Amino acid sequence: MLAGWSRSSLEFISNGLRCAAWLYLPEAIARPPVVLMAHGFGAERTFGLEPFAERFAQAGLAAFVFDYRCFGDSEGQPRNLVSPRRHLQDWEAALSYVKGLTEIDASRIALWGTSFSGGHVIVIAARHPELSAVVAQVPFADGLALLRSFPLGTMPRLVVAALRDVIRSAMRGPPFMIPIVGPPDSLAMMSMPGCWEGYQSLIPKQTSWRNACPARAVFTTLLYRPTSHATRVRCPALFVMAERDQVIPSWSVTKELKRLSNAQLLALNCTHFDLYQGRGFERAVTVEQDFLVRHLRC
């Protein structure tokens, strides 16, 4: 099925702050199932999520794509605050909001996450057995596994920066910011080879996004372990793994996959950022679309 679609801008409230979202609706389909979507580490919904949502809408699926608090068009300070706890609160708020939309069928809801949000969707799916399906693309599985990915000598400097930010926060001072992404061996949350070029390829030309986040994200990221929730996921799950992923260790993905009772794996010979465009995108989105259509009973 190839359907036309429309997109509208919506907003919902998470912990008292407004979160911005898009709702993609396929045309001529009454109350379609819906896919909730959000981006990865430090990113906004404009960073390559639109093509995925459009393809899902063409297949007869609604898509609800949102920005976390402190990101994009959503409210919140400090800007670009990466916090798994806050992100999960926003996922819960988005899910609750979508269930109240009259335009969609609230009995058929799936989650789609990529990179950092690929971890979030596993946690949310574990909490909500009523969900129909979950797609985790190049998913963040275990913060401790990332220690092997960071360049030698970078981690001590990141820890010092994180401590400075935590102290400033405790004293109600301005956050100590570090780059979200940088060239190899630079002081950045993502400085593995290929990250700078890959991340930059996702950023639209017209953006107010700043390449910086509060350094406390070092601690919250390393302590975040979505894999510990995986055994409680009951809905069908699709994992999309990049075999040459320079950010997420592939072994952590396959280890998490084994914890789920109803999961399948799509392993692609590509890097972490190849899945957002070109051949990598086409291969990933085609399988994801088929998986979602099948389990949402379109």
Q: What is the pLDDT of residues 56-91, one digit of tens each?
A: 999 999 999 999 999 999 999 999 999 999 999 999
pLDDT of the residue at 297: 84
Q: Is 255 exposed, middle or buried (0-12, 13-18, 19+ CB in 10 A)?
A: middle
CA distance 137 to 237: 11
Q: In this model, does residue 4 exceed pLDDT 90?
A: yes
Q: How many CB atoms lie within 10 A of CB 236?
A: 21
Of 48, 177, 17, 57, which is closest to residue 114 (Cα–Cα)? 48
Q: Tell me the average pLDDT of the chain.
A: 96
Instruction: Go through the domains of the chain in sequence order and give each one's CATH number.
Output: 5-149+226-295 (3.40.50.1820)
Asked which of 93-107, 147-161, 164-178 is least confident by mean pLDDT, the reply is 147-161
Tokens of 37: 């979507």
pLDDT of 1 strictly over 90:
no
Q: Two tokens at 49?
A: 């999520």
HSE at residue 26, side-chain half, CA atoms within 13 A, is 24
pLDDT, tens digit, 9 for 90 and up, residues 95-143: 999 999 999 999 999 999 999 999 999 999 999 999 999 999 999 999 9
At which residue do the structure tokens 């700078």 appear?
196
Strand duo 34-38 + 62-66: pairing: parallel
Rounded Cα–Cα distance for residues 95 and 91 (Å): 6
Q: Which residues contact 156 (CB under 8 A, 6 or more apart)?
A: none
The DSSP secondary structure of 165-211, one letter per residue, reads HHHHHHTT-PPPEE-SB-STTSSSSB-STTHHHHHHTTS-SS----S
